[in-house]
Amino acid sequence: TDGDEVNGTKNPFKDDKFNKDGKPGNTNPLNPDTDGDGLTDGDEVTGAKNGGKPTNPNKADTDGDGVNDGDEIANGTDPNKGDTDGDGLTDGEEKVIGTDPKNPDTDGDGLTDGDEVNGTKNPFKDDKFNKDGKPGNTNPLNPDTDGDGLTDGDEVTGAKNGGK
Domain extent for 130: 83-164
| pLDDT score, position 155 | 77
What is this structure's pTM? Answer: 0.70
Length of the chain: 164
Closest CA to 147 of 131, 162, 133, 127: 131
If asked whether residues 114 and 72 sit together in one domain, one would say: no
Cβ burial 3-26 (10 Å sphere, 16+ → b, else e)? ebbeebebbebbeeeebeeeeeeb
Looking at the structure of the chain, the number of domains it has is 2
If asked whether residues 76 and 11 sit together in one domain, one would say: yes
If asked whether residues 95 and 66 sit together in one domain, one would say: no
If asked whether residues 104 and 41 sit together in one domain, one would say: no
If asked whether residues 88 and 147 sit together in one domain, one would say: yes
Last residue of a domain, one of 81, 111, 144: 81
Last residue of a domain, one of 59, 81, 103: 81
If asked whether residues 115 and 68 sit together in one domain, one would say: no
* Predicted confidence (pLDDT) per residue in 138-148, tens digit: 788 888 888 88
Provide the 10 A C-beta neighbour count for residue 31. Answer: 15
If asked whether residues 26 and 103 sit together in one domain, one would say: no
If asked whether residues 11 and 58 sit together in one domain, one would say: yes
If asked whether residues 91 and 159 sit together in one domain, one would say: yes
* Predicted confidence (pLDDT) per residue in 56-74, tens digit: 999 999 999 999 999 999 9
Last residue of a domain, one of 81, 116, 132: 81
Residue 21 has pLDDT above 70, yes or no: no
| pLDDT score, position 129 | 47
Tell me the three-class secondary structure of 112-158, residue by residue: CHHHHHHCCCCCCCCCCECCCCCECCCCCCCCCCCCCCCCHHHHHHC
If asked whether residues 104 and 163 sit together in one domain, one would say: yes
If asked whether residues 77 and 87 sit together in one domain, one would say: no
- In the three-class reduction of DSSP (H, G, I as helix; E, B as strand; rest coil), residue 8 is classed as coil
Q: What are the C-alpha distances in Å from 18 to residues 24, 40, 82? A: 4, 19, 24
If asked whether residues 138 and 153 sit together in one domain, one would say: yes
Contact 8, 25 (CB under 8 A): yes
| pLDDT score, position 43 | 97
